[in-house]
Structure 1
Amino acid sequence: MLLEGTASDFDSWQSLVSGSFVPLDTEPQRRGGFNGRISARDYDSVVMSYINANPHAVLRTPGLISQGASAQDTAGPTSSYYKVSLQLQGYGLLIQDGREMALSPGSLAIYDTSRPYTLSFDSDFSSYVMMFPQARVNLPRGTVEQLTATPIGADHQLGGLAAQLITQAGAMLPTLSRSVSVRLAGNVVDLLTTVMADELSEAGDGPDERQRLWSDITAYIEANLADPQLSPSTIAAAHFISVRTLHQIFEGSGETVAGDIRRRRIERCRQDLADPLQRQVPVAAIGARWGLGDPAHFSRLFRGAVGQPPAGYRRSTLGSSAS
Structure 2
Amino acid sequence: MSLSNSQTPTPRAAPSALPAAEPSAPFPAQPLDFAEFSHAVSESFVPLRVTAPTHRGFRGTLSAAVRDGVHASIVEAGTHTVERTPELIARGDAPYVKLSVQLSGTGMLVQDGREALLRPGDIAIYSTERPYVLEFNRSFSTFVLMFDEQTLGIAPDALSQMTAVRMPHDSPLTSVIAPFLTGLASNLDLLRGHAGARLARTAVDLTTTLYATELQASASASPKAALTGAIMRYIDENLGANSLDPNSIAVANHVSLRYLHALFSEQGTTVSTWVRQRRLENCRRDLTDPAFAALPVAAVAARWGFIDAAHFSRAFKASFGCPPSELRRQVLDAA
- TM-score bracket, shorter-length normalisation: 0.7 to 0.9
Question: Aligned equivalents of 1:24 and 1:120: distance in 2?
Answer: 13
Could you tell me how far 1:113 is from its partner in structure 2? 0.8
| Residue number in structure 1 paired with 2:71 | 47
Structure with greater proportional helix content? 1
Distance 1:39 1:181, change over 3 A: same
Q: CA-to-partner distance for each residue in 1:185-244, whole Å, 9 max, x for gaps?
A: 322322222222333334483441x33332232222111111222111222232343322
- SS of equivalent to 2:28: strand
Q: Deviations over 1:235-286 (max 9, x none)?
A: 2232343322321232312221101110011111111121233333222222
Q: Distance in 2 between matches of 1:278 and 1:205?
A: 40
After TM superposition, the structure 1 stretch with the greater mean CA deviation from structure 2, 122-131 or 245-254, is: 245-254
- Letter aligned with residue 259 of structure 1: T
Q: Could you give the per-residue CA deviations for residues 139-196 of structure 1, whole angstroms, max 9, x where no partner exists?
A: 2111221221221246731122222221122224524663423212322322222222
Partner of 1:19: 43
Aligned pairs for 1:1-323 (under 5 A) are 1-2=24-25, 3-69=27-93, 79-153=94-168, 156-175=171-190, 178-203=193-218, 205-208=220-223, 210-319=224-333
Query: What is the CA deviation profile of residues 99-123 of structure 1, one whole-angstrom value per residue up to 9, with x for unaligned ones?
Result: 2222322322211111111112111
User: 2:214 is paired with a residue of what secondary structure?
Assistant: helix
For 1:144, the aligned partner's letter is L
| 1:31-56: CA deviation from partner (whole Å, max 9, x where unpaired) | 41221111111121122211111221
Flag the 1:291–1:253 CA change in 2: closer, same or farther, 3 A.
Answer: same
Percent identity among equivalent residues?
A: 41
Distance apart, 1:302 and its partner CA: 0.9
What's the counterpart of residue 76 of structure 1?
none
Tell me if the contact between 1:91 and 1:105 (Cα under 8 Å) persists in the aligned partners: yes
Which 5+ residue runs of structure 2 have no aligned equivalent?
Answer: 1-23
Structure 1 segments unaligned to the other structure (5+ residues):
70-78
Do the aligned partners of 2:78 and 2:138 also contact (CA within 8 Å) in 1?
Answer: yes
For residue 284 of structure 1, what is the amino acid of its counterpart? Answer: A
Quick one: which amino acid aligns to residue 286 of structure 2?
Answer: D
Counterpart residue number, 1:72? none
TM-score with structure 1 setting the length: 0.88
Q: Give the Cα separation in 2 of the matches to 1:92 and 1:213.
A: 34
Are the counterparts in 1 of residues 32 and 61 from structure 2 also a CA contact under 8 Å?
A: no
Tell me how far apart the structure 1 counterparts of residues 106 and 168 of structure 2 sit (CA, whole Å).
18
Aligned to 2:19: none
CA RMSD of aligned residues (A): 2.3
Shift of 1:297: 0.6
- What are the Cα deviations for residues 69-128 of structure 1, in whole angstroms up to 9, with x where unaligned? 3xxxxxxxxx52111111122223222122222232232221111111111211111111
The TM-score, its normalising length taken from structure 2, stands at 0.85
Counting matched residue pairs gives: 311
Tell me if the contact between 2:191 and 2:197 (Cα under 8 Å) persists in the aligned partners: no
* Cα pair 1:109 1:152 within 8 Å, conserved: yes
- Aligned-partner Cα distance in 2 for 1:259–1:23: 29
